[in-house]
Chain A
Amino acid sequence: SSELTQDPAISVALGQTVRITCQGDSLRTYYASWYQQKPGQAPVLVIFGKNNRPSGIPDRFSGSTSGNTTSLTITGAQAEDEGDYYCNSRHSSGDHWVFGGGTKLTVL
């Protein structure tokens, strides 16, 4: 079982805002990173740290953290945002990393 907990699935209407959450004790110590994965493709980093986007990631993606919960927010979801989203952080022990179980996002 994952030490980071995510909702298995979420849906959002086109153009609306959706928040994907991730909970875990390690998040009290380490910032999470978020990855988007589309079918048959490798994951892509979309958010890291407090709220940082790699080059090329649209600004509708943002991140936040409070206590043991981190969130990925998509403001104005687009059809191309459909996919699986995984949170990740270093484990509290510092010597390994953990992923959440993933959230399947459907854009209606």
Chain B
Amino acid sequence: QVQLVESGGGLVNPGGSLRLSCAASGFTFSDSYINWIRQAPGKGLEWISYISSTGSTIYYADSVKGRFTVSRDNAKKSLYLQMNSLRAEDTAVYYCARFRDYYVLGSYSDAFDIWGQGTMVTVSS
């Protein structure tokens, strides 16, 4: 079964740290590009990070750059998000999502085709 499963969420004090994990199964993780996307309570989706299949290319949203670090271990089929200097506005459900690019009739497109169920991070004292 193709799936992503996040873990590691919880309650943390402002300024604290947390490490999220995303475990993959049912597909070739080492060939896959993975993203982190979050959703604050009652709000919309916010893309926050991308990592290429080998980890050689990484992108971050400005809102987390310098505080969050994404990494992966292809041998363990796992993705990680190290979150430091957490703020109240980081409170959200964090999803990992597989990114795929497509070439259909000569046209390029991309999308997040597999999503985990999410893990909740609450930053509060």
| A residues near B50, Cβ cutoff 8 Å | 96-97
- A88 with B112: CB separation less than 8 A: yes
How many residues of B are counted as interface, with CB atoms below 8 angstroms from the partner's CB atoms?
Answer: 25
What's the nearest-Cβ distance from chain B to residue A37, in Å? Answer: 8
Which of B61, B104, B115, B117 is close to A50, meaning CB atoms less than 8 Å apart? B104
Interface residues of A in 1-42 (CB under 8 A from B): 2, 30-31, 33, 35, 37, 42
**Residue B31 at the chain A interface, CB threshold 8 Å:** no
Among B44, B104, B113, residue most surrounded by chain A Cβ atoms (within 10 Å)? B44
Complex Cα spacing A42 to B50, Å: 18
Residue count of chain A within 8 Å CB distance of chain B? 27
Binding site for A on B (CB under 8 A): 35, 37, 44-47, 50, 59-61, 95, 102, 104-105, 107-113, 115-118
Write 21 A-B pairs (CB below 8 A) sorted by A numbering.
A31-B107, A42-B118, A45-B111, A48-B102, A48-B109, A48-B110, A49-B109, A49-B111, A50-B104, A50-B105, A50-B107, A50-B109, A86-B44, A88-B45, A88-B47, A88-B111, A88-B112, A96-B60, A96-B61, A97-B35, A99-B44
